[in-house]
């Protein structure tokens, strides 16, 4: 009890300190913006022409504002996650994330250094655009690495949860942000460098709704991957341990691949569990995808059963608005007689998929996975729970477009959202939205979860869905 009280007290202090830092940053940024007539480079040149001292003051204030913004944001996130700076791993992770945020800011600044730029979305022929993209990607990589220092081990997560676990089996080669291959997969892998959440993290956000999502970690890895919480076994014992986990699991999810050890796991699971306790994921990988699919059909003894209808029967309007229909993979599940059923995982094909993506905007896989797994859960007799709102997303909406009540609509309070929307022209909702953002920061996780019970299990170990 005393330790919980200290942790709660530290969390409150961190969140309050973070809010104060962000307010100070806003004040300094307002002062700096009034001193930048056009673009940043022109302002620096003007300060330099006036002497070294004005330039040094301008740069110092800018650096202080940047670090206040980073420090305040990280303090709030650490406080919201209930972490303690007394732990060395938390301090190491904080340092790595701080460095990542600095690199990220450097990328954003380099993308906006000259007048006429619009964020970092600029022409690739421009050297500063390349620098901006590289810095943004590297910054997000460091931020993700910093998160890993505070990921809990699977044994601790399972011990604290009364529900049976969901086991995730895959080849270690697929411990990547996107397992999708082929030409479209190459584009996805590039784009995922600019999104903080991976395929596995989005899968974890779904599976954590029915049980703690766990996996076996790569032997010898210094930091665990984000997504499923990891067990670590030696080479001599992993098969025995995996067999035990399969028997305990509420559901076993297998990401199909080509390695021998993974095929041993597939054979073992298909031979030892009931059909409603296993789900296979077959990602699109071009030629590799077709080879793995044929091999899987052979193991199941049902040739051609995993083929899906690729015809796009959407209206012309839907095709123009939402683009070409692309399949990212398949979810294979089974009836009581082991008859395979296939649910395609497709990119956003309509309004529903787009709305699913907006509930979890930090990854390209959120909408497709949410849409694919809803009918799968229903047919397996599992209760489907839609993605719970994220406090981080709600806070971002309150600060940016809160004047229109966007955060209330996101939090499923339409009545309040309509009030803000009706009076947005008075500008009063701006101040109310900032107050709402501060309240969302300071509220306890338990209190937030009272309104959204699924939020407790929806996030896995990824920080943006606190």
Q: Which of 167, 190, 165, 164 is nearest to 177 (CA)?
A: 190
Q: How confident is the model at residue 377 (pLDDT cuts 50, 70, 90)?
A: very high
| Sheet with 340-346: strands ordered across | 229-231, 213-216, 166-169, 251-255, 278-283, 327-334, 340-346
Task: Summarize pLDDT for 11-47 with one digit per residue, the tens.
Answer: 889 999 999 999 999 999 888 877 766 667 777 777 7
Three-state DSSP class for residue 213:
strand
The pLDDT value given to residue 229 = 95
Q: Which of 203, 223, 216, 120 is nearest to 369 (CA)?
A: 203
Q: How confident is the model at residue 63 (pLDDT cuts 50, 70, 90)?
A: very high
Q: Which of 377, 362, 336 is nearest to 206 (CA)?
A: 377
Kindly list the distances between the CA atom of residue 416 and the CA atoms of 133, 388, 407, 408, 409, in Å, as whole numbers in the listed order. Answer: 39, 19, 10, 6, 8
Task: Summarize pLDDT for 152-186 with one digit per residue, the tens.
Answer: 999 999 999 999 999 999 999 888 878 887 777 78
pTM equals: 0.83
pLDDT at 7 over 60: yes
Domain boundaries, the chain: 2-148, 154-379, 391-465
In the chain, pLDDT over 90 holds for what percent of residues?
35
CB-based burial, 30-63: b 16+ in 10 Å, e otherwise: eeeeeebeeebeebbebbeeeeeeebeebeeebe
Give the count of beta carbons closer than 10 Å to the beta carbon of residue 85: 13
pLDDT at 120 over 50: no
What is the C-alpha to C-alpha distance for residues 91 and 85, in angstroms, rounded to an integer? 6
What is the C-alpha to C-alpha distance for residues 43 and 32, in angstroms, rounded to an integer? 10
DSSP string, 269-306: HHHHS-GGGEEEEEE--THHHHHHHHHHHHHHT-TTTT
Q: Strand pairing partners for 342?
A: 332
- What is the pLDDT averaged over residues 297-320? 64
pLDDT at 371 over 70: yes
Task: Summarize pLDDT for 184-193 with one digit per residue, the tens.
Answer: 778 788 888 8
pLDDT at 398 over 80: yes
């Amino acid at each position: 009890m005393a330790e919980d009280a200290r942790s709660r007290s530290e969390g409150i202090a961190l969140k309050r300190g973070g809010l104060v830092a962000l307010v100070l940053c806003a004040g300094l940024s307002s002062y700096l913006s009034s001193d930048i007539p056009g673009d940043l480079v022109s302002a620096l040149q003007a300060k330099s022409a006036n002497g070294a001292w004005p330039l040094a003051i301008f740069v110092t204030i800018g650096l202080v504002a940047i670090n206040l913004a980073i420090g305040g944001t990280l303090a709030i996130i650490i406080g919201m996650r209930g972490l303690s700076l007394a732990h060395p791993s938390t301090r190491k992770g904080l340092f790595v994330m701080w460095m990542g945020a600095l690199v990220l800011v450097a990328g954003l600044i380099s993308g906006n250094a000259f007048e006429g730029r619009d964020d970092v979305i600029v022409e690739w022929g421009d050297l500063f655009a390349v620098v901006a993209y590289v810095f943004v990607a590297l910054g997000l990589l460091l931020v993700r690495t910093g998160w890993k220092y505070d990921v809990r081990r699977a044994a601790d997560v399972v011990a604290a949860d009364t529900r049976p676990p969901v086991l995730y089996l895959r080849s270690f080669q697929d411990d990547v942000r996107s397992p999708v291959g082929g030409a479209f997969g190459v584009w996805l892998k590039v784009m995922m460098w600019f999104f903080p959440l991976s395929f596995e993290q989005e899968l974890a956000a779904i599976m954590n709704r029915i049980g703690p999502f766990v996996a076996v970690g790569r032997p010898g890895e210094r930091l665990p991957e984000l997504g499923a919480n990891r067990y670590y076994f030696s080479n001599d014992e992993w098969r025995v341990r995996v067999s035990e986990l399969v028997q305990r699991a509420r559901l076993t999810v297998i990401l199909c691949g080509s390695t021998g050890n993974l095929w041993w796991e597939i054979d073992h699971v298909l031979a030892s569990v009931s059909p409603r306790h296993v789900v296979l994921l077959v990602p699109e990988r071009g030629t590799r995808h077709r080879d793995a699919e044929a091999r899987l059909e052979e193991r199941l003894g049902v040739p051609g059963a995993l083929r899906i209808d690729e015809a796009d029967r959407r209206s012309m309007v839907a095709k123009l608005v939402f683009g070409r229909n692309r399949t990212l993979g398949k979810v294979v599940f089974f009836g009581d007689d082991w008859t395979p059923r296939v649910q395609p995982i497709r990119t956003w094909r309509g309004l529903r998929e787009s709305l699913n993506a907006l509930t979890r905007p930090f990854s390209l896989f959120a909408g497709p996975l949410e849409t694919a797994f809803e009918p799968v859960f229903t047919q397996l007799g599992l209760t489907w729970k839609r993605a719970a709102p994220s406090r981080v997303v709600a806070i971002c909406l309150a600060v940016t477009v809160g004047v229109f009540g966007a955060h209330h609509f996101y939090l499923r309070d339409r009545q309040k959202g309509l009030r803000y929307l009706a009076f947005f022209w008075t500008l009063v909702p701006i101040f109310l939205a900032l107050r709402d953002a501060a309240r969302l920061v300071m509220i306890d996780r338990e209190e937030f979860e009272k309104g959204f019970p699924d939020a407790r299990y929806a996030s896995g170990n990824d920080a943006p869905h606190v």
